[in-house]
Structure 1
Amino acid sequence: MIFGSQGSGRFVDAVTAFETAVRGQNPDGAERAFQEMHRSLGDAGPHEVAQAAPRLAALLPEVPPGPRGIVAVIVGACVERGADPLPCAPYVFVELAETLAAVGEFCERWEETGGGEYPDPRDGEPGPALFDRVGPEAALAWLSLPQWEMACHALLNHPGVRTALHGSLRARLLRALRAVQETTEYDVKGLAYALLVLDDEPLVVLHRPTGTGYAMRMSGIGDNFQLHTLLADVLVGGGHVPGRAPSAQEAAVCRDAPGQVLTTGSFNLVTPGGEWVWNEGTPSDIPVVDGVRLLVLDPPPYERSWPAGRYFPGMTGDLVLERVLDAAETRAWLAGCTPPK
């Protein structure tokens, strides 16, 4: 038998046993089933992971805080192996929001009890002193953060999940993640960037040196390094503006090819108000003007190189040119723009 191709049924049986034990409040049975899920996941076939993922996701609110994050990771692993992420995502993101709320309580109690450097949640099993200091639920929420990051990245690689995520929940998650970053300095930038990814998003690009404009559409772009390379591919590589065009490989790794390739910048990305749009940021930094994101391209003030690629290797990105703006339309857009600062 090919490894994992058909599955033995053990994984689904373990999921069923875990559901029964959790809902029956049988800790010993839940622990045995939990261990069996871990052991049998590697041999599970496509039909097994497809069946198990939504069941485990729906069970998350009833799973105790200790194993809850690991169950979310198992859901993410099933999605990476082909399970449909759409029925799983609402449960995972709601539980992430609840976990982040408990992390907020952890931070408050940490400061109230003397403060100091926060423990790294990736350092493994904590001592009992942490539980005594902040309480078990707050401590477990903090320690489970890396697990929730892993699970959510697996889901957010899918455009359907990103577009279905309700705006109010997305905003709540982003506020909570910013608070974690500012308070603890624990790096949650990756998860925040994943939540900020835009899909099927209109973008008007004005190339100031040539006085030309372009209506574009972007999807799945994780940061502005990736956007910058794709802009150069479409505009310089497409023969619309002068400059250095990325190689075919440099552009491909920013769309769906694996790996990274060194590239050199072709533009300076600027807002209509003249502020720089930093490559280190995300396309969500580009301001909306009259209902569309508006970006100005100026000559680069200095040469800058970076590894071209995708911020999220599992996420497909794209930028397409829909039409070239006519001269009058471009002049109207540029008239509202100020020189770069």
Structure 2
Amino acid sequence: MTSGPHTLTAALGEFESAVRDQDGERCDRAFPLLHQAFQEAGPDELHLTAPRLAALLDQLPPGPRAVTAVLVGACVERGADPEPCAPGVFAGVREALTAALRFTERWTATGGGELPDPGRTELDDQVVERVGAEAAFGWWTLPEWQMASVALLNSKAVRQRVGADGGELRSLVERVQAAGGAGEEFKCLAYALRVLDDEPLVVLHRETRTAYLMRMTGIGDNFQLHTLVAGALVGGLHVPGESPSAEAIAVCRETEGQVLTTGTYNLLAPDGSWIWNEGTPSDIPVVDGARLLVLDPPPYERSWPAGRFFPGMSGDLVLERVLGQDEADSWYARVADPK
């Protein structure tokens, strides 16, 4: 823990006091000192600071609120407990998404045109007059809210705590993306809200007509899933083929970095349509209580840097059991030929 007048604890106390007094000038002076002290703070201070900052979010105006949320996320990335921070951060995320959706609607209603990029352009008075301040700030602060919320969603406990609200938040993100044509800008938030935990997955390897019950947690995209499934089946000597390297499997679980790997399968849904590597495990349809994935030979060779879509999120895929032939046949009866 640092010492002197600019410890994180002291800077936080001054910032809290300014926020309680609704003194904007003091807040503007206190926040840079808070940010500066954060750089040198130790784990104990960060652990205490993150929930106290999160508790202030609803008392701050939209711009400072989003920037403060980023600082909460930064504390979490350096070891602070994310769970106490979740209510304040996700209330802010929901409010910002709702306002951003109004922004896209008002933008269209007032003449349309290309939407401003909140990550690259300054918010000016003309935009505020056109759509209203609340809607404008909602759109402009979404990049900050994405950073803050993804930092918290790296935690399985937070993902479970968000729970049912995750569906509402996913819907808001998807509506903002669709209305604004902003598919890539908020992709990280959309994907983080789709992450599945302790999710049963039945995998059918069509060439050998075998079937496997797996369970997946914290997998951010299907590149990661593809690598882990191939590692479990080929690396586990259940089916023939070339397994991803141990290093590729490790970086898809929790080791840092990326490792070039080559695809082993073509991933298919039960109806024979493709499950794209670029998508997420939530794209795999649920059949009788489990995600059902079919593996076919790849139609062409494809390589990618194996790793985790969310570097701060540990991923896991467990092979729980090999299904008996009668049970496997009952699953195969539910799938169609590839399209």
TM-score grouping bracket, smaller chain normalisation: over 0.9
Aligned match of 1:304: 302
Once the two structures are TM-superposed, the CA of residue 185 in structure 1 deviates from its matched residue by 2.4
In structure 2, which of residues 276, 279, 287 is the aligned counterpart of residue 278 of structure 1?
276
In structure 1, which of residues 238, 242, 245 is the aligned counterpart of residue 236 of structure 2?
238
Structure 1 Cα separation of the partners of residues 105 and 286 of structure 2: 36
Structure 2 Cα separation of the partners of residues 303 and 264 of structure 1: 7
Aligned match of 1:205: 203
Amino acid at match of 2:24: P
Structure 1 Cα separation of the partners of residues 275 and 120 of structure 2: 35
Instruction: Give the % identical residues.
Output: 59
Aligned match of 1:267: 265
Structure 1 Cα separation of the partners of residues 141 and 169 of structure 2: 16
Once the two structures are TM-superposed, the CA of residue 166 in structure 1 deviates from its matched residue by 2.4
Aligned match of 1:184: 180
Amino acid at match of 2:2: G
Does 1:317 pair with 2:312? no
Aligned match of 2:2: 7
Aligned match of 2:335: 337
Structure 2 Cα separation of the partners of residues 51 and 252 of structure 1: 33
Indicate the SS of the match to 1:203. Answer: strand
Is the Cα contact below 8 Å between 2:118 and 2:141 reproduced in 1? yes
Once the two structures are TM-superposed, the CA of residue 124 in structure 1 deviates from its matched residue by 4.8
Please, which runs of 5 or more residues in structure 1 have no aligned partner? 1-5
Structure 1 Cα separation of the partners of residues 122 and 283 of structure 2: 38
Aligned match of 2:89: 92
Please, which runs of 5 or more residues in structure 2 have no aligned partner? none
Aligned match of 1:292: 290
Structure 2 Cα separation of the partners of residues 327 and 292 of structure 1: 18
Once the two structures are TM-superposed, the CA of residue 259 in structure 1 deviates from its matched residue by 1.8
Aligned match of 1:3: none
Structure 1 Cα separation of the partners of residues 22 and 91 of structure 2: 22
Aligned match of 1:150: 147
Is the Cα contact below 8 Å between 2:105 and 2:179 reproduced in 1? no
Amino acid at match of 2:170: L
Structure 2 Cα separation of the partners of residues 131 and 272 of structure 1: 48
Structure 2 Cα separation of the partners of residues 290 and 179 of structure 1: 29
Once the two structures are TM-superposed, the CA of residue 7 in structure 1 deviates from its matched residue by 2.3
Indicate the SS of the match to 1:88. Answer: helix
Please report the TM-score for the alignment, with normalisation by the length of structure 2: 0.95
Structure 2 Cα separation of the partners of residues 305 and 42 of structure 1: 39
What CA deviation, in whole Å up to 9, does each residue of 1:271-312 have, x standing for no partner?
Answer: 122121111110011111111111111111222222211111
Aligned match of 1:229: 227
RMSD: 1.3
Indicate the SS of the match to 1:42. Answer: helix
Amino acid at match of 1:69: A
Structure 2 Cα separation of the partners of residues 319 and 92 of structure 1: 29
Does 1:83 pair with 2:80? yes
Aligned match of 1:48: 45
Amino acid at match of 1:340: P
Amino acid at match of 1:119: P
Structure 1 Cα separation of the partners of residues 268 and 122 of structure 2: 46
Once the two structures are TM-superposed, the CA of residue 159 in structure 1 deviates from its matched residue by 1.1
Structure 1 Cα separation of the partners of residues 194 and 315 of structure 2: 14
Once the two structures are TM-superposed, the CA of residue 126 in structure 1 deviates from its matched residue by 2.5
Does 1:170 pair with 2:166? yes
Once the two structures are TM-superposed, the CA of residue 61 in structure 1 deviates from its matched residue by 0.9
Structure 2 Cα separation of the partners of residues 291 and 112 of structure 1: 43
What CA deviation, in whole Å up to 9, does each residue of 1:215-248 have, x standing for no partner?
Answer: 1111111111110111111100110001111111
What CA deviation, in whole Å up to 9, does each residue of 1:287-341 have, x standing for no partner?
Answer: 1111111111111122222221111111111111111111111111111221111
Once the two structures are TM-superposed, the CA of residue 211 in structure 1 deviates from its matched residue by 1.2
Amino acid at match of 1:51: L
Once the two structures are TM-superposed, the CA of residue 26 in structure 1 deviates from its matched residue by 1.4
Structure 2 Cα separation of the partners of residues 227 and 162 of structure 1: 19
Structure 2 Cα separation of the partners of residues 213 and 290 of structure 1: 15
Aligned match of 2:106: 109
Structure 2 Cα separation of the partners of residues 243 and 304 of structure 1: 15
In structure 1, which of residues 101, 118, 122 is the aligned counterpart of residue 119 of structure 2?
122
